[in-house]
């Protein structure tokens, strides 16, 4: 269980870290980005449209936040691990949401 906490405003914290370059890119996301044709550039350049979809305050290592984003009509989700103590975020994964699992705007999970 994570000993860290989510910041008061997770979205503002994430945006600030991304814009200031305080981002650690995990091995997992580095492998997945090329497979999924998502670039670091579009993740960084789309910070203004980030929207929090879900928070996981008790994630395994650090609290995490699932964020919706888009650029040029290309919609994707980004999972950020939030490290308040070290004042950075880690991008765990990024993917294009499956419309069968997410609602029309790809912002809400469909009920099983």
CATH number assigned to the domain comprising residue 26:
3.30.2310
pLDDT tens-digit readout, 37-92:
899 999 999 999 999 999 999 998 999 999 999 999 899 999 999 999 999 999 99
Tokens of 51: 């929207």
| Angle at alpha carbon of residue 69, lines to 57 and 63, rounded to 5° | 10
Full domain range(s) for residue 52: 10-95
Number of domains within the chain: 1
Supply the pTM of this predicted model.
0.93
Q: Do residues 94 and 32 make contact, with C-beta atoms less than 8 angstroms apart?
A: yes
- Residue 13 burial (CB < 10 Å; 0-12/13-18/19+)? buried
| Distance of alpha carbon 3 from alpha carbon 112, whole angstroms | 31
Q: Measured between alpha carbons, how far apart are the two ends of the chain, in Å?
A: 27
pLDDT at 33 over 70: yes
């Amino acid at each position: 269980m994570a000993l860290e906490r989510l910041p008061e405003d997770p979205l503002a914290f994430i945006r600030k870290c991304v814009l200031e370059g305080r981002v650690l890119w995990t091995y997992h996301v580095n492998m997945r980005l090329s497979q999924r044709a998502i670039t670091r550039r579009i993740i960084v350049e789309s910070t203004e449209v980030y929207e929090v979809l879900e928070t996981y305050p008790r994630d395994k290592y650090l609290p995490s936040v699932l964020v919706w984003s888009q650029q040029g009509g290309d919609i994707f989700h980004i999972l950020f691990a939030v490290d308040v103590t070290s004042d950075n975020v880690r991008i765990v994964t990024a993917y294009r949401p499956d419309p069968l699992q997410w609602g029309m705007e790809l912002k809400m999970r469909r009920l099983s």
